[in-house]
Amino acid sequence: MTTEQAQADKAVYQVYIEAPIEKVWNELVKTDDMLPFFFGSVCKTKNGLAVGEPMAMETTNGKYRSVVGTVLEFDPPNRYSHTFKFTGYDDPPCTVTYELKSVEGGTQFSLITTNVPAGTKTEKGMAQGGNFIVNTFKSVVETGGPAFGTRLMLGVMGLAQPFTPKQCRAELWSFDRIRDL
């Protein structure tokens, strides 16, 4: 893709969460734990979530990495931003930003996608996943877990793991390679 290729409009997925901003932030930036709101992935890092550091969303057994990126901004408890690349697609990275704002009785949580190449598989995947992520995140923070239907879906996804494309294998997406994207 060239730098002249069209970019999709910025997409904002937003939800109100009945919890203090610190609780919402701490759930968002967990590493090494399964995150139901990120489709059951585990956020892995080499040196923690810090600006310039690579990160990867991988399966609980560590065999596959579905999303990789580099932290662009890390401002607790208000903003976290990183590049975002699906390992299963040849599309270039885009940007994902999480914004948290204290409001009366809780936290306004926003998931914002920018620089998504228009017409790509990445654009389609991000559009399908945005609402799932914010709504499941709300459920996890407020109740301690995802809704029953989400738990079923995550179970089915786990069963389908052997069918994950080989190009998503974790050994193909080292932190050094991620940093060079």
Report pLDDT digits (tens) over 12-22.
Answer: 999 999 999 99
Residue 88 is predicted with a pLDDT of: 96
Distance of CA 88 to the CA centre of its chain: 15
Residue 9 is predicted with a pLDDT of: 74
Residue 1 has pLDDT above 50, yes or no: no
14: β partners:
110
- Least confident segment among 15-19, 23-27, 41-45, 144-148: 144-148
How many CB atoms sit inside 10 A of residue 31's CB?
12
Report pLDDT digits (tens) over 67-115.
Answer: 999 999 999 999 999 999 999 999 999 999 999 999 999 999 999 999 9
What does the mean pLDDT of the chain come to?
93
**pLDDT-derived band at 8, boundaries 50, 70, 90:** confident
Residue 3 has pLDDT above 50, yes or no: no
CA distances from 43 to 49, 118, 153, 179 (A): 9, 26, 19, 15
Q: Nearest to residue 25, comparing CAs of 94, 81, 99, 96? A: 99
Preceding omega of 76 cis (within 30 degrees of 0): no
d(C-alpha 29, C-alpha 34), whole Å:
12
